[in-house]
Amino acid sequence: MSEQQHATTDDTDVTSEKLVELAKRRGYFFQSSGAYGGVGGFYTFGPQGAALKGNVEDAWRDRFAVAEGNMEIDAPTIMPEPVFEASGHLEGFDDMLVECSECGASHRADHIVEDNTEYEDAESLPIPEVEEIVAEYELVCPACGAGLAGQAVETFNLMFGTNIGPGDSDPGYLRPETAQGIFVEFPRLKEYARNQLPFGVTQIGRAYRNEISPRRSIIRTREFTQAELEYFVDPEDDEPDLEAVADVAVTLYPASEQNAEDGSEIETTIGEAVEEGIIGDEWVAYFLGVAKPWYESVGVDMDRFRFRQHLSGERAHYAADCWDAESEVDGNWIEMAGFAYRGDYDLSKHEEYSDDRFTIFKQYDEPKTVERATVDPDMSYLGPEFGGAAQDVVDELEALAARDREAFEGDTVEIDLEGETHEIPVEKTGFSVDEETIAGEHITPHVVEPSFGVDRLVYTVLHHAYREDEVDGEERTYLELEPEVAPTFVGVFPLQNDDDLEAVADEIVADLRAAGLSVTYDDSGNIGRRYRRQDEVGTPFCVTVDYETVEDEETTVTVRERDTTDQKRIAVDELAETLSAIRDGDLAFEEL
Amino acid sequence: MSEQQHATTDDTDVTSEKLVELAKRRGYFFQSSGAYGGVGGFYTFGPQGAALKGNVEDAWRDRFAVAEGNMEIDAPTIMPEPVFEASGHLEGFDDMLVECSECGASHRADHIVEDNTEYEDAESLPIPEVEEIVAEYELVCPACGAGLAGQAVETFNLMFGTNIGPGDSDPGYLRPETAQGIFVEFPRLKEYARNQLPFGVTQIGRAYRNEISPRRSIIRTREFTQAELEYFVDPEDDEPDLEAVADVAVTLYPASEQNAEDGSEIETTIGEAVEEGIIGDEWVAYFLGVAKPWYESVGVDMDRFRFRQHLSGERAHYAADCWDAESEVDGNWIEMAGFAYRGDYDLSKHEEYSDDRFTIFKQYDEPKTVERATVDPDMSYLGPEFGGAAQDVVDELEALAARDREAFEGDTVEIDLEGETHEIPVEKTGFSVDEETIAGEHITPHVVEPSFGVDRLVYTVLHHAYREDEVDGEERTYLELEPEVAPTFVGVFPLQNDDDLEAVADEIVADLRAAGLSVTYDDSGNIGRRYRRQDEVGTPFCVTVDYETVEDEETTVTVRERDTTDQKRIAVDELAETLSAIRDGDLAFEEL
């Protein structure tokens, strides 16, 4: 179910506060419906945030769908109740709720316990024990300070419910994960994959969790975006291309180290970690190896990044192995993705609950010849002998032949019928062993699931890119965003409001856009303010058209680099080519 | 509210049936959760459909956000109740529901009336009249045939409701249009636009309508994708660049022609239509002019496309003018987009209902000097005279001074206080008229809203691209999709399963992908079947690597064009460049 792990404290240091302020001021994100007082857990991405988020999604699509040859689908966010009966969400997707009898505020009981006692994983405790801890420690309501001892702790289902059509006969839920939209369509998706394993299906879209107490900006929200890959494999025959990622260096925090008194993170490679059995499943290892450089490419600081293995108590019972990608933000580790080997759990459940088949026909390389024992009983003997029970005898004989053909080796065979043993002459059973050729079998594929949270990644990328320095004696804030994800790659400014300068700037904007670069034009305020504005939104380069541009014989402009604030003069007719080369990593600004 | 107009009959001809079958078989779209019997009004886009839909969304973004210089945002789909109290959706976003007393099925009463009587716009009739028509015409339940006369017709709110957090104290709704996510954030968005009108904000995202009877595949669903632009203008000073679209030829179906006995569509240009007053609002005209060539570019057949003006009864009371973009599908016209001039309705409503300001400060070109009449009453006179009512007298005097300064021209001034008239000496009021300099004023911007339905456009594009012909004596089905939106631009095939051929094919795939083309590799089945598969998903070109490729000195491949099935041999090292040139429209296949 890839539940998102929360950091256990609510401490935010000054960087997060500054980031959230910048995010609102510059249009990255802000709490929604502020005009109506806002609602916890809902955020709007402003123009910069929507662009950054879109770029991150595109980068994910390129790597996990296109480059891996997987299919992307787009399913509805509302799904009918039977889907969640099968998936287990209706029964078990709960949090512990405690309500304050004084002020009526609702809280997560496990959070109150974790924040105020030495218990670290209260979520995994039984409810009566949590109630006892609340009483024993005399824990109080975080909102009003009233004692919570004696208040019932209840389960609260985290799915948002609604009704489909008039009346309430067709309950529906907003999906708590995009994954179910893939699993439930497996019978069709396998056709698009031409019934060949392995194949992968991705989806980028909204998911919803009705958190009791959403908190920490866009890290724990009630509506968020997931990018999930469900990779369907034949557990016997399919193997990942481990070689391709064997040399990827990773920081791992295995369960054994988390449990050890002086345990610590391990620096290793994917190849070594598999060899040494630290990562148990090769498919999980493969996707960790794909994910690590991808996270780096979108701007996650690798000194504040690790893969942490789930402890046995955290893991869903069906998950053989599960690792989270975690980033450090203000001293807390937050989950950005989960990588789980889920076995056949999901498809088996839908096979069990629905009318469709969630298997795939696996053709053998060569048809197999198998021996099959059958019976063809003599009814003219069984009929008179057993009367109305004759058919039961036939069923028993068939089952016995399939189970234990040696039972037919003597003259008689013994069967049990409602507690009584009967002897039947073997010659009356029509027992025979025949050879049969079969082309293959129906198998239930296993699922490997890399599940990414987009909002938390966006938060991490911004947080890890946040910088403060001093330029010309003045404090400066800037975002050191990777060009691949920055909302704007280049800002273009005419130095002053002057028709000649503006005309050249307009042409440059058109040229750069034609070259596929994302461009912002800005002619308002003095040039220093415009640089500052682009620094704060993380634009890697700015181009200024000044009087030298229009007066000199060789038309040049000033190109300024965000991080160093270094400036160089570049010929206008080389600008698009030069900036494209820098964007593609083929050229460095300092080489100009 | 940009409600989607429905076509009034449910006739589908054979093309729609074939298209829906192809869509399911090839992975364009299919009804969701089929394993659980499906739920009306929810569709999943398969791999081809998700790609086509994504391409259409990108094309919309390029034209309506990037090229127009508008901002794109990404807001939550769940919004709190007060938003919809303000927008009017809570009160008025209803359909007419009639329930069959025999079988319990729910139906839209207006649809039953329209399908079985001569009434064409039953939605706009009052409920008692609809009940009368049902009785008079003895209309029956479409599900079981039982009579519906005497059954109450009730209003049914089309928003999906849910609860935010535990309990039901915070109701929320799935947004029925993406627009509210923009309007409600106007106080922040105007800051990002640096308080300068005009500016536009776009959003592409899900919207939800709990239709009583969803129907016609993805044309009327309960969850769908909108691409909306809210363009905020100063109604006095801002004017669109009409010149840029004046020459765009359009087919218009104005209200006057719809009302006329022998009315018909008009072939004209945007410029002429504005001059002749056919399109009343210039902003609406501008966006129609932008939309028409855009629709053409993504593959809508211009012979089955028109702009239809809303009749006065269809139009929301606040909308000054509204036109729909309509496409013809199986002889029915369906709404794909609405273009409305909404005045200050949306922002005024939110200003009224919320605590925030939905205005913008409009600076005058020159500060204005205005005369302002004020009072400064002598409390030592009013106090003893009026006691506790003295402050009310002050308020009355202030209001009167602002309203009617002539009242202060005599020796005394008359005011009304709780029905009684009092005379007050003017000298005790401190009345004076002073000059004041003001820099500008707070105005409520007007909104122009081009609102696009993405699913209906995807359906139209597929329908208009559907072709059947005969190739080598065999029937063929193909989709003549525009390269810009086709899920795959080029399919690459090794002729046979042969290591040499596959190696070359792999290299070609990598080359073409590096050139930014979307590529599908296929090595399964005979070459004819592979061509057929790509024809059916609408892939414009296929490249086949055969033995000539690997044996000849000059390495060439066969390139086949989808529509004509013509084949040409092209050198491998010119392939990426040639296909890119064709994709960009700089080269035609027949010129090769």
Q: How many CB atoms lie within 10 A of CB B365?
A: 7
d(CA A230, CA A340): 10
Instruction: Note the pLDDT of residue A218.
Output: 87
Cα A418 → chain centroid: 53
pLDDT bucket at A4, cuts 50 / 70 / 90: very low
Q: Contact at 8 Å (CB) between B447 and B345? A: yes
Number of domains in chain A: 4
pLDDT bucket at A581, cuts 50 / 70 / 90: very high
Query: Do B334 and B187 fall into the same domain?
Result: yes
Q: How many A×B Cβ pairs under 8 Å? A: 220
B354 touching chain A per CB within 8 A: yes
pLDDT bucket at A11, cuts 50 / 70 / 90: very low
At B380-392, the pLDDT tens digits run: 998 898 888 888 8
d(CA B390, CA B424): 12
CATH number, domain of A499, equals 3.40.50.800
Query: Do B308 and B396 fall into the same domain?
Result: no
Query: Do A495 and A569 fall into the same domain?
Result: yes
Query: Do A503 and A561 fall into the same domain?
Result: yes
pLDDT, average across residues A151-170:
93
- Are B50 and A66 a contacting pair at CB < 8 A? no
Question: Residues 6 or more apart from A239 whose CB is under 8 A from it?
Answer: A282
Closest CA to A329 of A457, A154, A432: A457
Q: How many CB atoms lie within 10 A of CB B67?
A: 12
Q: Contact at 8 Å (CB) between B197 and B67? A: no
Q: Find tokens 């307009």 and name the residue.
A: A506
Query: Do B131 and B64 fall into the same domain?
Result: no
Question: Residues 6 or more apart from B464 whose CB is under 8 A from it?
Answer: B299, B300, B301, B304, B327
Strands (DSSP E) along B472-508, which ranges?
A: 474-479, 490-494
Query: Do B414 and B532 fall into the same domain?
Result: no
Distance (Å) from the alpha carbon of B47 to chain A's nearest alpha carbon: 5
Does the residue B53 lie in any domain?
Answer: yes
At B310-334, the pLDDT tens digits run: 988 777 767 778 999 999 998 899 9
pLDDT greater than 60 at residue B293: yes
A189 touching chain B per CB within 8 A: yes
Does the residue B164 lie in any domain?
Answer: no
Q: Tell me the three state secondary structure of residue B518.
A: coil
pLDDT, average across residues A67-79:
96
B369 touching chain A per CB within 8 A: no
d(CA A310, CA A193): 32
- Are A44 and B164 a contacting pair at CB < 8 A? no
- Bridge partners (DSSP) listed for residue A349: none
Q: Contact at 8 Å (CB) between B343 and B319? A: yes
d(CA A497, CA A509): 16
pLDDT top residue among B513 and A324: A324
pLDDT, average across residues B226-246:
97
At B406-441, the pLDDT tens digits run: 899 989 999 888 888 889 999 999 999 989 899 999
Instruction: Note the pLDDT of residue A211.
Output: 92
pLDDT greater than 70 at residue A12: no
How large is the greatest C-alpha to C-alpha distance in chain B, in angstroms? 114
A52, A158, A188, A194, best to mutate vs chain B, most B CBs in 10 Å: A188
Average pLDDT of chain A, as a whole number: 92
pLDDT greater than 60 at residue B179: yes
Judging by beta carbons within 10 Å of its beta carbon (0-12, 13-18, 19+), is residue B493 exposed, middle or buried?
A: buried
The ipTM is 0.88
Query: Do A231 and A339 fall into the same domain?
Result: yes
pLDDT top residue among A183 and B105: A183
Query: Do A509 and A371 fall into the same domain?
Result: no
Closest CA to B340 of B244, B235, B230: B230
Query: Do B289 and B309 fall into the same domain?
Result: yes
At B5-51, the pLDDT tens digits run: 333 334 446 688 999 999 999 999 999 999 999 989 999 999 999 99
At A99-155, the pLDDT tens digits run: 999 988 889 999 999 999 999 888 888 999 999 999 999 999 998 999 999 999 999
Q: Which of A84-88, A464-468, B351-355, B400-404 has the lowest mean pLDDT?
A: B400-404
Give the 3-state DSSP-derived string for B422-464, with helices as H, strands as E and coil as C. EEEEHHHCCCEEEEEEEEEEEECCEEEEEEEEHHHHHHHHHHH
Does the residue B138 lie in any domain?
Answer: yes
Query: Do B586 and B550 fall into the same domain?
Result: yes
State the residue range of the domain holding A378.
Answer: 365-440
d(CA B335, CA B220): 10
pLDDT bucket at A317, cuts 50 / 70 / 90: low
Name the DSSP letter for residue A310. P
Closest CA to B476 of B417, B516, B420, B534: B534
B163 touching chain A per CB within 8 A: yes
Nearest to B83 among A33, A188, A353 (CB): A33
pLDDT greater than 60 at residue A8: no
Instruction: Note the pLDDT of residue B317.
Output: 67
Does the residue A165 lie in any domain?
Answer: no
Does the residue A105 lie in any domain?
Answer: yes
What is the pTM (predicted TM-score) of this model? Answer: 0.89
Query: Do A106 and A238 fall into the same domain?
Result: no
Phi/psi of residue B467, each to 5°? -135, 150
Helix (H) or strand (E) holding A237: none
| CA-based radius of gyration for chain B | 31
Closest CA to A255 of A225, A277, A287, A237: A277
Does the residue B253 lie in any domain?
Answer: yes
DSSP string, B322-369: EEEEEEEETTEEEEEEEEEEEETHHHHHHHHHSSS---EEEEEEEEEE
pLDDT greater than 60 at residue A1: no
Residue A274's identity, in one-letter code, is: V
Length reported for chain B: 592
CATH number, domain of A19, equals 3.30.930.10
pLDDT greater than 80 at residue A468: yes
Query: Do B338 and B457 fall into the same domain?
Result: yes
Q: Contact at 8 Å (CB) between A246 and A271? A: yes
Name the DSSP letter for residue B63. I
**The dihedral of CA B564, B570, B572, B577: what is its sign?**
negative
Give the 3-state DSSP-derived string for A208-225, with helices as H, strands as E and coil as C. ECCCCCCECHHHECCEEE
Peptide bond before residue B128 is cis, with ω within 30 degrees of 0: no
pLDDT greater than 70 at residue A82: yes
At B541-559, the pLDDT tens digits run: 999 999 888 887 788 999 9
Does the residue B427 lie in any domain?
Answer: yes
pLDDT bucket at A469, cuts 50 / 70 / 90: very high
Helix (H) or strand (E) holding B528: helix B527-537
d(CA A183, CA A537): 39
d(CA B244, CA B534): 38
pLDDT greater than 70 at residue A396: yes
Percentage of chain B lying above the pLDDT 70 cut = 97
Helix (H) or strand (E) holding B173: strand B171-174
Which of B 75-104 lie inside 8 A of A, CB atoms? Answer: 75-80, 82-83, 97, 99
B212 touching chain A per CB within 8 A: yes
Give the 3-state DSSP-derived string for B363-418, with helices as H, strands as E and coil as C. EEEEEEEEEEEECCCCHHHHHHHHHHHHHHHHHHHHHHHHHCHHHHCCCEEEEEEC
At A547-564, the pLDDT tens digits run: 888 887 788 999 999 999
- Are A222 and B162 a contacting pair at CB < 8 A? no
Instruction: Note the pLDDT of residue B525.
Output: 87
Judging by beta carbons within 10 Å of its beta carbon (0-12, 13-18, 19+), is residue B116 exposed, middle or buried?
A: middle
Does the residue A313 lie in any domain?
Answer: yes
pLDDT, average across residues A493-499:
92
Distance (Å) from the alpha carbon of A501 to chain B's nearest alpha carbon: 20
